[in-house]
Amino acid sequence: MGYKLRFSQYNASSVLVEWPPLIDENILNDVLSFKNKIEKINIKCLVEVVTAYNSLLIIYNFTIDDINNVFKDLKALYLEKSIGLSKGSKVIKIPVCYDADFGEDLMHFSKVKKISKSELIELHTAPLYTVFFLGFLPGFLYLGGLNRALHLNRKTTPNLNIKKGSVAIGGKQTGIYPQDSPGGWHIIGNSPIELFNPNDNPPSFINAGDQVKFYAISKPEYVEIQAEIQNSKFNIETLFVND
């Protein structure tokens, strides 16, 4: 691919690599391919790589001695051909209940945007959302692909407590709150899926580069899935797509 990257030292033990500041799937793939290469040649307990839309932070478990050498090696590694990175992607299907009991802002949302509840559900469940990265809260997914018709500025006064599982829209983004948290997004539903479990390793089964598809469930189905999750009987539907 070959983007013009900016390399800089972030602190005594980490290096920041930046791509052009765009939300773009080609950039995402390039970021993740570079992450993959870095992780392949390093020992896991010595190097950690955190990515976001257009950046990659390499955190070493030691102080960097010669930064120019590190830059030189990283630049050479970036130019190397990536090997063995599967081109297919994983699609994870996430059930969402858009019942008014869960989506406390749904009525207001459809009024402001002048769309019916069923249109809203259709527009929200249609896309394949791309997971750009996880951040903000443990297990919180930054998803790209929200339909323009559903863009709505965040609330001016945030909610002090948005319930775990809440599916919400804020600005051009949509997401799921993996735990109770304050937040300024409009809540349109709730998912019974556990996005983050600190007792699992890895603690999240969704990674940057995966794709997410929502599907609507009724309230009784929500209760049923929730019970199945508690008994570890629920299997999240995952599709593997080769493109």
Partner 1 sequence: MIKVLKSGFFTTIQDQGRFGYGSFGVPVSGAMDTCASTFANHILGNSMDAAVIEMTMIGAQFQFLSATLIAITGGHMNPKINNKTVPMNEVILVNKNDVLSLGNSVEGFRTYVAVKGGIITKMVLGSRSMLKEVTPSHRINKSDHLPILEQEGIKRIKNAKVKFNSSYLNTNNIEVAKGPEFDRLSEKQKTLLLNESFKVSKYNNRMAYQLLPVVTNTLDAILTAPVLPGTVQLTPSGQLIVLMRDCQTTGGYPRVLQLTEKAINILSQKSTGNNINFTLVDY
Residues that bind partner 1 (CB under 8 A): 8-12, 14, 16, 18, 21-23, 44-45, 48-57, 59, 61, 64, 67, 133-140, 142, 178-179, 196, 198-199, 201-204, 207-208
Maximum C-alpha span of the chain: 60
Residue with smaller CB distance to partner 1, 113 or 136: 136
Least distance (Å) between residue 223 CB and partner 1:
24
Least distance (Å) between residue 159 CB and partner 1:
17
Least distance (Å) between residue 146 CB and partner 1:
15
Residue with smaller CB distance to partner 1, 137 or 216: 137
d(CA 141, CA 132): 7
Task: Kindly state the tokens that stand for 88.
Answer: 């297919």
| Cβ proximity of 216 and 192 under 8 Å | no
Residue 8 has phi, psi (to 5 degrees) of -145, 155
Contacts of 111 by beta carbon, 8 Å cutoff, 6+ apart: none
Query: 217: part of which helix (H) or strand (E)?
Result: strand 211-217
Least distance (Å) between residue 68 CB and partner 1:
11
Residue with smaller CB distance to partner 1, 8 or 118: 8
User: Which amino acid type is present at position 153?
Assistant: N
DSSP-based three-state secondary structure for 127: coil
Nearest to 144 by CA among 154, 130, 158, 163: 130
Least distance (Å) between residue 122 CB and partner 1:
28
Give the angle 169-170-173 at the CA atoms, nearest 5°: 75
Residue with smaller CB distance to partner 1, 135 or 145: 135
Residue with smaller CB distance to partner 1, 118 or 153: 153
